[in-house]
Structure 1
Amino acid sequence: MAENGNTDKVGDESRGSESTTATTHSTITKQRKKRSRAWDFFEEKVDATGNNKYACRFCGQEYFETKGKSTTQMNNHINKCPNNPYKVEKGQKLLQFQTLPGGNKGGLIPWKFDQEECWMALCSIVIVDELSFSFVEKEGFRNFMKMAQPCFHIPSRTTVTQDCFALFNVEKNKLLKFLKGTSQRVSLTTDTWTSIQKVNYMCITTHWIDSEWIMHKRIINFSPITSHKGEDMARCIIDYLREWGLQKIFTVIVDNASSNDVTVEKLSDKLDDWGTNSMNGHHLHMRCMAHIVNLIVKDGLKESSISIARVRCVVRYIRQSPARLRKFQECCESENIVKKSLCLDVPTRWNSTYLMLSRAIEYERAIKEYSDRDTSLSRYLMFDAISDGKPVGILTRTDWDEVKRIAQFLEIFYNLTLKVSGSLYVTSNAHFIEIGQVVVYLNRLITTEDKLLSEMTLSMWKKFEKYWGEPKKMNKMIFIACVLDPRYKFTTVSFVLKKMFGDDEGTIIEKEVHTYMSSLFNEYVSKSVSKDTGGKVSTSLPSSSFSTMETSTGLGALLDEIRKHKAASGGVDSKTELEKYLGEDPENERPEFDILAWWKVNSPRFPILGMMARDVLAIPISSVASESAFSTGGRILDQFRSSLTPKLVETLVCLQDWLRSLKLGVLKLLCARRRAAGPIARSNLYCPVTKGFDSMLILFEIVCYQLSSKGKKRKRESKKVYVTYLGEDPENERPEFDILAWWKVNSPRFPILGMMARDVLAIPISSVASILLILTKKLPPTMFAKVCLKLGVLKLLCARRRAAGPIARSNLYCVQCSSNIIS
């Protein structure tokens, strides 16, 4: 396929950036004024006659100042000084322990000081840790570097700034090269904010899944805009899409501002002009779920009781002075409560209200103890603390009961917001399920006898119906992403739709989703398949696993007849990928299920559906990824960055995101390969050889009887597993199919059947193995053992390499090692 041919190796290119940046840095930075390293080892002195001398810091050897202030003598002395602890022969490398993640030490690695690499590492520290440029000129840092590495010449703040621009250009060119070369669609999240300096900024973040099925996000723009109008924001987005060579946009995730509707509409028109607007832009506009949940809960809190205001006033009173805080800590100690800080909420942010209430509940006994010790608190609540124009009153036991119920109510939405706000893992597959959970939860609370929660829920339900009450207004990707989760498929979507909207309307919506998904799949088929394979489009992999010579000589005639028989009987070759995927049983629910690992293993079976899944599952359901660029704690630029020029702000923000993504990308790749090497994902690469042999059932029952000490119960359960195996569609025949690799992945699904398969598949049908033993009989026993051990190690490595990639390699047998044994 064209798309797979242009594989997404942005992770590999990015992971190599750390080693290549240092070598390219010297060619792109401004030439620095040369400074001899001799001055790091000598200090200037003046003798009794007034002549300048330079004395070695280690041995005291002195040299007179030359006319041209040459440092040749001093440099020669550095390499010969007997007391120089840093003396290293030219070209010599030192050994040091490798530092592993978590502070652990690894093995010894060679190391050599490199000024350019240290400069770039210092630049990365300033960017990633958000340090000021003047940090490099501070006395403490310079003293530390003088002790750690006297050879390192510390650059000035101006030089570090220039290095940041240089590093930005290097990393941008790498990312630009990838994005312009890929044919994959990407999703965008965008958000705007105003800095302290009253400058309007826009942040654009791209999201995609690479060929290793690893989620990526990159900030591609963080620049000022003229206004928050929809036309201006659309023009800015289009300009940056042109700059980055991005024309295939799948979805755009924005908040609920009315100007964003105009922005997405203008962007959709431009994508139509480019001819890249998928499904005519019907699913281009995706609303941020986190913002919708925020609006729903805020409406509910408007109906909250006076109890929240009383808790807020108590927390504010205690936090107003250090003396009150000390007295409160004494109360915590007397009640044996772990000392933590009280949280004061921001009334416009409901999540801060939840955190304030949950922390206050932990300190309930301490707050009661404090109110007994400090009588001024009661007077403050009775007369000075005002809410809605009247005093709030004393905090009572009834208030504590209401606060606990409200906190428990808000906890559901707080955890939901955290879950949907992730940008480094798949969230789109759970979007529809989470909406269904909100519906069930609100319906249950509306009919509750708790008047407080019932009133809050009624207010929230009105806002819910505005965004999610009419399914025709909901983005179809909300449903399709759930269908592409092999645990759910249409079975779950149909059930939740009927639960939310009733049986009749739910059935209608299900048909609309199925039609839309089929149209989207056909759009991918039309772009990926150049020739139609008959009246019914089949997107299966080529089924021929034998060479042309075998077919021409008649050795493959039986296999051709088998393929025709399967097609005539409605087998796998007569189905589309979508029909085959939906026709298989859903995966079992389990905590460790990894949807990306499942699709990585099964994408060879569903190549075009896998392409669609990569685009759909990469959709974030929240624009938090763009919001977090403004600050890790809030959506504002800090004072340090707000005082910088817009170009420098964009450089620092983008570089910080890219450098952190590089390290995270490497760790995610290692984790993905570690998962793939284990029992991944219950793929469904079934072996076509064993399907349909009823006589195997007898052998299977014998194995179950021998393994089971409980007898008939285990026997009935295992028979169901065997029938499940035979009831699934056979695998496609393809040259790279590996039956052992398939059974390694699927043995957790069929544990007893897998044990039987290990015995059956180990049966050789030739005595060649004994002949090889005769040929190697003259070898010494130790050499023969080494050869066998070497072959076993290589076969194990090959097996793990296959498991780490798409399981589609040759058999667990090394031809090269086999020929070595024969020779």
Structure 2
Amino acid sequence: MSQSESQYPDASVQSESGPVVVTQTNSRLKSEAWNYFNKVGTKAVCRHCGTELTTGPKSGTTHLCRHIKDACKKIIEEERKKFGLGKDSDMFGTSNYKFNSEVTRSLMTLLFIDAEIPFAVIENRFFEASMRSLRPEYKVVGRQTLRNDCVEVYKKGLAVSWKEFEELDSCVSFTADIWTSSVNLGYLCLTAHFIDKNFNFKKKIIGSRQMSYPHSGPAVASLIEKILVEWKLDAKIFTITLDNSTVNDNAIEKALKKIREILRRIASSGKRLQFFNDILKELQLGEKKDGLLEVPISDEWKEAKELAKFLEVFFYATKTFSTVRRPCSHLYMKEVWTIGAMLMEDYMSFNQTLQDLAQKMLPKFNKYWENPNLILILACVFDPRVKLEDIEFFLGDAYGDETDEYKKRLEDVRSSLRKCYDDYASMCNVDRATSGGSPQVESSSLGKRKFDMKLSEFKFQKRHMRPRRSELDNYLEEAVVECDEENFDILQWWKRNSDLYPTLAKMERDFLAVQVSTVASESAFSAAGRLTDHSRNSMNAKTIQALICSRDWFYSIDGGFDLEQFRPFMQAP
């Protein structure tokens, strides 16, 4: 008798027709799962919690194992781990392990998707030999079957993502960008960004579609609309961020051309590299040596140093706005102000290269600064470390804190914030006031009930004559949060305070999901480039979408690597 049987010895279960005694020596019940269940007719009854599960010749015991591992908390943890799949218990090393070719095939499919391995590898003779060395009877599928399996993984992931969006109670922000493959085919990538009910920031590619030329505005808009309608997300759109940048790097290239060329030539030879290191040690600059190009003169090095200082601001701003796994919209004003302050620095008048570069950048910068995006401004308010303080500072610095323009712009921000809040409060059916409705009164005396009713009505009307305070008022008047800047998690703060500010918490989920850049969609093109290189440029558009989306969805799974979380993508039950 097993440990579980000795601990839970009761083998009789009450059914509708009376007690049924199950014999424990049934030779057909060989799975270890039956040590935790009693077989009652066509039912398997858990000995610990009494849950009834269907059983039969074709039912198997997978669902019984899942019940033991996940559902029945009365079974001690050490026993439950034996039936796990993932990091808590090795599916390939437990005593009850049985080889399942479908599991192996599914895991192989996930490997080819995740590692971006060409389908042809599966037909490589050494790959097949290596698989047979592990399990001689296992038959490796062909590349076409593998391709079909990858599409099936995509369909399973599609169902999971579809359900997630269907249950989502917040809006969704999107990023979109266009990419041209090595064979000059255009692709549009559309990525969804949202914050779920548990305040987790989520990113999912929902479309990687081939589009014909010309890549005009109407054509892009039409394809985006088509994808959104297919996903039934057209009613949940909050923002769409598109690429609107041009590369103005002529001045940078001119300043760095000689430095880059000399470093390239130095790195191509060990002897030259050693020679260059000797120069650095002596803190001297050499001339022509052994065919090397002329080393930049001291003024050029100085100019490169100033240029690096200039570009450092853009580096940190790009790093901030390029994040795709956490919010960044609340940092928009701070980063933009920092760039503006640098472009207008007086010291640039002493450097012609930087002055020319700043003059080319300023017109585009002014488009963002003089007519800033209101949604990105309001997003700053949801940072409890600053609230309205940053906005007041930035506007005051730009226009002077006593000017009419400053007062007008600040009032526009406040009124827009108030209007947004009122709209959300209405949608959430949350009363902005802290007072409630008229209380219910009970009394046995008719006269007493009438008096209580009149008094209650009088108090209710008097309360409503007083100025009402909303969540927004309370939030803005509360002191800003003082904390460690590096370790502050803005989403966790809102999660902890969502009961105190339910309407603002719902607003925050929409505003903090807004993307400042299109990096999320652009990053998909790196994978697309590898998938459609010259050795695999015959892959059709649907397969490319299946591979790109599936791999992206793998990375949207929270936590560390746990195979149990990938079960929805797997073919086997």
TM-score normalised to structure 1 length? 0.51
**What is the distance in 2 between the residues matched to 1:666 and 1:477?**
36
- 1:658-677 → structure 2 map (5 Å cutoff): 658-662=553-557
CA spacing shift, 1:202–1:97, aligned 2, 3 Å: closer
Residue 582 of structure 1 is matched in structure 2 by: 476
**What is the distance in 1 between the residues matched to 2:494 and 2:413?**
21
1:493-550: CA deviation from partner (whole Å, max 9, x where unpaired): 11111112332222211111111111112222222228xxxxxx52659799x99999
Residue 132 of structure 1 is matched in structure 2 by: 118
**What is the distance in 1 between the residues matched to 2:507 and 2:137?**
54
Match of 2:510 among 602, 612, 615: 615
Q: Give aligned pairs, total.
A: 470
1:133-161: CA deviation from partner (whole Å, max 9, x where unpaired): 12222233233323333353322212111
**What is the distance in 1 between the residues matched to 2:321 and 2:187?**
24
- 1:667-746 → structure 2 map (5 Å cutoff): none
Quote the offset at 1:666 in angstroms: 8.1
**What is the distance in 2 between the residues matched to 1:366 and 1:153?**
61
Matched position secondary structure for 1:216 = strand
**What is the distance in 1 between the residues matched to 2:91 and 2:312?**
41
**What is the distance in 1 between the residues matched to 2:292 and 2:330?**
50
Q: Which amino acid aligns with 2:239?
A: T
Residue 419 of structure 2 is matched in structure 1 by: 519
**What is the distance in 1 between the residues matched to 2:253 and 2:191?**
40
Structure with the larger helix share: 1
**What is the distance in 2 between the residues matched to 1:136 and 1:369?**
56
Q: Is the 8 A contact 2:189 2:207 kept in 1?
A: yes
**What is the distance in 1 between the residues matched to 2:387 and 2:556?**
32
Match of 2:270 among 299, 321, 326: 326
1:218-251: CA deviation from partner (whole Å, max 9, x where unpaired): 1111111123112222221122111111122000
Matched position secondary structure for 1:202 = strand
Matched position secondary structure for 1:164 = helix
**What is the distance in 2 between the residues matched to 1:501 and 1:636?**
51
**What is the distance in 1 between the residues matched to 2:128 and 2:236?**
49
Cα RMSD (Å): 4.0
CA spacing shift, 1:448–1:542, aligned 2, 3 Å: farther
CA spacing shift, 1:634–1:395, aligned 2, 3 Å: farther
Residue 119 of structure 1 is matched in structure 2 by: 105
Residue 305 of structure 2 is matched in structure 1 by: 404
CA spacing shift, 1:565–1:593, aligned 2, 3 Å: farther
CA spacing shift, 1:368–1:618, aligned 2, 3 Å: same
- 1:274-285 → structure 2 map (5 Å cutoff): none
Quote the offset at 1:170 in angstroms: 1.2
Q: Which amino acid aligns with 2:344?
A: N
Q: Which amino acid aligns with 2:127?
A: F
- Check if 1:499 corresponds to 2:397: yes
- 1:434-453 → structure 2 map (5 Å cutoff): 434-445=335-346, 449-453=350-354
Q: Is the 8 A contact 2:375 2:511 kept in 1?
A: yes
Compare 180-189 and 366-375 and name the one that shifted more.
Answer: 366-375
Matched position secondary structure for 1:399 = helix
Matched position secondary structure for 2:524 = coil
Quote the offset at 1:445 in angstroms: 4.3
Residue 254 of structure 1 is matched in structure 2 by: 242
1:690-733: CA deviation from partner (whole Å, max 9, x where unpaired): xxxxxxxxxxxxxxxxxxxxxxxxxxxxxxxxxxxxxxxxxxxx
Residue 257 of structure 2 is matched in structure 1 by: 309
**What is the distance in 1 between the residues matched to 2:323 and 2:196?**
18
Q: Is the 8 A contact 1:431 1:478 kept in 2?
A: yes
Compare 207-216 and 135-144 and name the one that shifted more.
Answer: 135-144
Compare 613-622 and 401-410 and name the one that shifted more.
Answer: 401-410
Residue 190 of structure 1 is matched in structure 2 by: 176
**What is the distance in 2 between the residues matched to 1:411 and 1:636?**
33
CA spacing shift, 1:226–1:400, aligned 2, 3 Å: same
Residue 470 of structure 1 is matched in structure 2 by: 370
CA spacing shift, 1:521–1:137, aligned 2, 3 Å: same
Q: Which amino acid aligns with 1:432?
A: M
CA spacing shift, 1:138–1:239, aligned 2, 3 Å: same
CA spacing shift, 1:488–1:106, aligned 2, 3 Å: farther
**What is the distance in 2 between the residues matched to 1:199 and 1:397?**
46
Q: Which amino acid aligns with 1:209?
A: I
1:333-353: CA deviation from partner (whole Å, max 9, x where unpaired): x65xxxxxxxxxxxxxxxxxx
Matched position secondary structure for 2:178 = strand
Residue 529 of structure 1 is matched in structure 2 by: 429
Matched position secondary structure for 1:376 = coil
Matched position secondary structure for 2:364 = helix
- Check if 1:377 corresponds to 2:292: yes
**What is the distance in 2 between the residues matched to 1:484 and 1:645?**
44
Quote the offset at 1:209 in angstroms: 0.3
- Check if 1:158 corresponds to 2:148: no
**What is the distance in 1 between the residues matched to 2:282 and 2:538?**
42
- 1:591-670 → structure 2 map (5 Å cutoff): 591=485, 592-631=487-526, 637-640=532-535, 642-662=537-557
Residue 346 of structure 1 is matched in structure 2 by: none
- 1:60-459 → structure 2 map (5 Å cutoff): 111-227=97-213, 228-246=215-233, 247-256=235-244, 291=245, 295=246, 299=248, 301-303=249-251, 307-318=255-266, 324-331=268-275, 335=278, 365=280, 374-378=289-293, 381=294, 394-445=295-346, 449-459=350-360
Q: Is the 8 A contact 2:87 2:561 kept in 1?
A: no
Q: Is the 8 A contact 1:206 1:219 kept in 2?
A: yes
1:395-446: CA deviation from partner (whole Å, max 9, x where unpaired): 2122222212211221221121121111111010001111111122222245
Matched position secondary structure for 1:628 = helix
Q: Is the 8 A contact 1:627 1:635 kept in 2?
A: no
**What is the distance in 2 between the residues matched to 1:566 and 1:641?**
76
**What is the distance in 2 between the residues matched to 1:640 and 1:539?**
65
Quote the offset at 1:605 in angstroms: 1.3
- 1:561-580 → structure 2 map (5 Å cutoff): 574-580=468-474
Quote the offset at 1:182 in angstroms: 3.2
CA spacing shift, 1:220–1:303, aligned 2, 3 Å: closer
Higher-Rg structure is 1
Instruction: For structure 2, list consecutive stretches of 5 or more residues without a partner in the other structure.
Output: 1-79, 566-573
CA spacing shift, 1:243–1:109, aligned 2, 3 Å: farther
